[in-house]
Amino acid sequence: MKLPSLRALTALYHLDQPFARIAKVTGVLLVASVTVGWVALQMDALVTDETAGIDTGALRWATAAGHALVGLGLGLLILRYRWIRRAVTHGKVIQGIVQQIIVRTSRLPAEKHAPWTPRLSHTHFAVVAYEAGGVTRQVRLKLPAGATVSESGEVELLVLPDAPGRALLRNGFQSWARFHC
């Protein structure tokens, strides 16, 4: 398997929410486990007695558990990447109908030169109903920037035949695949 480029991973990070969440949690766990490991090494240097306290032993176990969780997170990232790549390359295109458009607004930190002006970030989601495998399903998908989708309009979805309950928005992932696969 060819390793993905950093550009492909960052584009996928911004495009796919589950991939982004797994990456964030894995990154936090990596920083925490390295920090706890460093503290454990410093404690080992300070403790001169043969019988170290329970806190030193707990730091060693926390470091090992943190590294194991980072490995699990990296494994989940690889599985998600491979599933998305397989869905883009081997998935079949089906039509879905947009049931609802959800806009989530969040406030960004103020800029230095204009602290009185509020900065807002808008993220658009679409609840899409589609039929796959004889069953009508609904999925909530993040819309890419600049997507022109209206309620009760049609969108194209990518669905794997062996996983009809998981769909991807075709136009966002098709452009990702064109440049990164």
pLDDT of residue 22: 96
Task: Express each pLDDT in 2-26 by its tens digit.
Answer: 677 788 888 888 888 899 999 999 9
Mean pLDDT of 78-95: 90
Q: For the structural domain made of 92-180, what CATH number should be given?
A: 2.40.50
Tell me the domain boundaries of the chain.
6-90, 92-180
Helices 54-90 and 17-46, axial angle in degrees (round to 10): 160
Task: Express each pLDDT in 30-78 by its tens digit.
Answer: 999 999 999 888 877 776 666 666 777 788 889 999 999 999 999 999 9
User: Strand (E) positions, 2-153?
Assistant: 92-108, 119-132, 135-142
Residue with tokens 């989530």: 104
If we measure between CA atoms, which residue out of 60, 62, 69 comes closest to residue 40?
60
Residue 134 has pLDDT above 80, yes or no: yes
pLDDT of residue 164: 85
Residue with tokens 């170290």: 52
Q: Percent of the chain having pLDDT more than 90?
A: 32
Residue with tokens 């398997």: 1
Cα–chain-centroid distance for residue 98?
Answer: 23
